[in-house]
Amino acid sequence: MALILEKHKMPVQDPKVRAHNFEEVALGYDEDTAVAEAERCLHCKVPQCRKGCPVSIDIPTFIGKIKERDFDGAIATIKESNALPAICGRVCPQENQCEKHCILTKRGESVAIGRLERFVADRELALDKEVKPVERAADAQRVAVIGAGPSGLSCAGDLAKKGYDVTIFEALHKAGGVLSYGIPEFRLPKDTVVKKEIENIEKLGVKIEVDSVAGRLYTVDELLQEEGFDAVFIGTGAGLPRFQNIPGESLSGVYSANEFLTRCNLMKAYRFPDYATPLKVGKTAAIIGGGNVAMDAARTALRLGAEHVYIVYRRSEAELPARAEEVEHAKEEGIDFRLLTNPVAIEGDENGWVKAMRCIRMELGEPDASGRRRPIPVEGSEFSLAVDTVIVAIGTGPNPIIAQTTPGLVLTKRGNIAADEETGATSKPGVFAGGDIVTGAATVILAMGAGRKAAAAIDAYLKEKKAERD
């Protein structure tokens, strides 16, 4: 049979329609398309795709089971390594991970590994299969997990499967972390996907306490010394917004992307007036940045009623950090990309509201420490964009609460928790950390991989602790 060199297309909503709703853009494969895509896999003797998976999914096996229409077997294989497959099938940058290593890329396009993962995960969620709790001993050791984001959920799920008594402490009123507050509904449905996959982790026996701000309600030391926990995992993410520190950032109408997306997603601004949480967008919005968060903010602003939305990015399209798919979708929806452009000031009206953004054109010089060509201002090229909303999406840093309330916890120069890359062990015995709080803002799947590594290390630590006690 001749090789099929292109992926089967993902069906999507029409751009003109989806630009005005919050329904999911990508619609997913049907059964026949999934099987046809699985048949593209060459089942290499030495599969390269597994190299790129941070949670070590047995990719050839699950694809082989789809090919045989053993969809139950396929999802079972995935869930041996991944507790959130329907989420990962949607938001993982597969093109830079597992699919990057697929041998088919030497001739054409890789197997659509992410789309196949989503297919079998969605099928299982639709069937609403029972998840049986894991039995644990009456004297099971207890683990506290701080943060119910991707790393915390993965760590908790793995530990529950090993028989530990796990409690997650989540600061917000809903579990999920960035899955709930950051990624928009049109990319990641909350009720049908995020909520269901978190519930499946709870069904394993994991307890989740929301509205519980660790570092304020309990310190790490109190969890270990007074609340009876034998180990603690810190997975608090990177939720502290960064700004450019240019004039005018305090004007009304300027948002951090974090605030903007949280108010839309977690506080349901997109469902106003059903939820009394409106979000003012205005007619023209400018988003500063070029990553996935910038794309999310731009596409959200459009759906909330902005008539014109700019992406303002200081490098060229080749350097855009966002996924190619997200850039493509943004362009299809009419987002206006102003590349090689950098804001220098935000201007306000007499009432203190944004009226314009002063920008300067850039050109690319020699590569900087990131390996990308350094943007250099073009002298005399300043110009003004008339806007009434500015959203800053240039990255985030670690929330300092845990660090401030945990004596002896060593931090990096950037304020992240210093932890062993392979185990998540920190400077404090019994305390582990992983995800964005360690690495800085990264991807969902990398955070999950860190959570899994930490779970294995916590298991080894607690077994040793128990052996010493016995």
What does 158-197 look like in DSSP terms, one character per residue? HHHHTT-EEEEE-SSSSS-THHHHTS-TTTS-IIIIIHHH
Reported as a single tens digit per residue, the pLDDT across 416-470 is 999 999 999 999 999 999 999 999 999 999 999 999 999 999 999 999 988 888 7
Res 213: pLDDT: 95
Instruction: Assess whether pLDDT exceeds 90 at residue 404.
Output: yes
What's the longest Cα–Cα distance across the chain? Answer: 75
Q: How many CB atoms lie within 10 A of CB 198?
A: 24
Average per-residue pLDDT for the chain: 95
DSSP state of 10: P
Instruction: Assess whether pLDDT exceeds 70 at residue 1.
Output: no
Q: Is the torsion defined by CA of 255, 261, 265, 269 positive or negative? A: positive
Q: How many CB atoms lie within 10 A of CB 438?
A: 27
Q: In whole angstroms, give the CA distance from residue 218 to residue 227.
A: 9
| pLDDT more than 90, % of the chain | 92
Closest CA to 109 of 34, 32, 12, 40: 40
- 261 and 349 in contact (C-beta within 8 Å)? no
Q: In whole angstroms, give the CA distance from residue 326 to residue 312.
A: 15
Write b or e for each residue in 417-435: b if 16 or more Cβ atoms lie within 10 A of its Cβ, otherwise e: bebeeebbbbebebbbbbb
Res 469: pLDDT: 81
Res 287: pLDDT: 98
Which H helix or E strand runs over 79? helix 71-79
Res 208: pLDDT: 98
Res 53: pLDDT: 94
Instruction: Assess whether pLDDT exceeds 80 at residue 302.
Output: yes
Reported as a single tens digit per residue, the pLDDT across 28-42 is 999 999 999 999 999
Residue type, 220: V
Compute φ and ψ for 192, nearest 5 degrees. Answer: -85, -15
Res 78: pLDDT: 97
Question: Chain centroid to CA 180: how far?
Answer: 10
Res 420: pLDDT: 97
- Kindly tell me the burial class for residue 131, based on how many C-beta atoms sit within 10 Å of its own C-beta (0-12, 13-18, 19 or more): middle
Res 294: pLDDT: 98
Instruction: Assess whether pLDDT exceeds 90 at residue 3.
Output: no
Residue 191 tokens read as 């009720």
Reported as a single tens digit per residue, the pLDDT across 218-230 is 999 999 999 999 9
Q: Cβ contacts of residue 358 below 8 Å, gap of 6+?
A: 343, 344, 345, 346, 347, 382, 383, 384
Reported as a single tens digit per residue, the pLDDT across 123-162 is 999 998 888 889 999 899 999 999 999 999 999 999 999 9
